[in-house]
Amino acid sequence: MGLLSSIYDSCKEKRTYFGTKMKGSAIDEAGEISKGPAPRKGLKRGLSIMDFILRIFAAICTLGSALGMVTTRETLPFATQFVKFRAVFDDLPTFVFFVTSNSIVCGYLVLSLVPSFFHIVRSTSVKSRVFLLSLDTVMYGLLTTGAAAATAIVYVAHYGNPNANWFPFCRQYNNFCERISGSLVGSFIAVVLFIIIILMSAIIISKR
């Protein structure tokens, strides 16, 4: 423990040395760039605006995913080895979960635009930022869970599983398959945007 603390303190000494001797930006061991108070406020405001814009994008992406999955319906015109000739997203509970989680996250993102706008206007609110970050993390978990579960089912639909005797139904239901595969894309883009939003919120909170 003494070794770790002495290593950390020597890194801190270098940072204070740079901060007093050189004007301008210096990079410490965590990769933060330390600036003066006015550029810091500008950085916070810029990141808050970025956060607002990314939330709008993520809301559009999740809405697109949910709609794309909900409007799937394919009826086969001919007889196959399947008993059922119609595929709807309802048939697989995992896809129902996917639609539900994307809708919830989309609604949350639209509602969170209000606090996000408030954070642009008031750069010094920390408690509400921490609260929004914790809500973001929970919603991010929900979104990633839905997207990953649907991806696993789409994978089985494409490739099947000979060991479990699960037939890949994509061979028969081409349009249905294309639609469910495509609607995953929007969800994963929203996942990436969420990561960026959470990281930016953490950086804004750490700058005081």
Partner 1 sequence: MSTTIDVPESSKVTKGKAVIVGPQRPGGWKKGVAIMDFILRLGAIAAALGAAATMGTSDQNLPFFTQFFQFEASYDSFTTFQFFVITMAIVGGYLVLSLPFSVIAIIRPHAVGPRLFLIILDTVFLTLATASGASAAAVVYLAHNGNQDSNWLAICNQFGDFCAQTSAAVVSSLSAVVIFVLLIVMSALAIGKP
Residue with tokens 């509602």: 111
Q: Rounded to the nearest whole angstrom, what is the least distance from the CB of residue 40 to partner 1 in the complex? A: 13
For residue 82, state whether it binds partner 1 (rule: CB under 8 A).
yes
- Interaction of residue 27 with partner 1, rule CB under 8 A: no
> Which structure tokens are listed for 121?
């206007």
Helix (H, G, I), strand (E, B) or coil at 166: strand
Minimum separation from the CB atom of position 119 to partner 1 (A) = 13
Q: Where on the phi/psi map is residue 165: left (φ > 0), alpha (ψ -120 to 50), or beta?
A: left
Between the two ends of the chain, the Cα-to-Cα distance in Å is 28
Q: Is 73 in the site for partner 1 (CB under 8 A)?
A: no
Selected binder of partner 1 within 38, 83, 114, 121 (CB under 8 A): 83
Site for partner 1, residues 104 to 163, rule: CB under 8 A: 126-127, 129-130, 133-134, 137-138, 140-141, 144-153, 155-157, 159, 161-163
Q: How far is CA 172 from CA 71, 161, 176, in A?
A: 18, 16, 9
E-state strands within the chain = 26-27, 33-34, 73-75, 86-88
Per CB under 8 A, residues contacting partner 1 are 1-2, 4-6, 8-9, 12-13, 28-32, 82-84, 87, 91-94, 126-127, 129-130, 133-134, 137-138, 140-141, 144-153, 155-157, 159, 161-167, 169, 191, 195, 198-199, 201-203, 205-206, 208
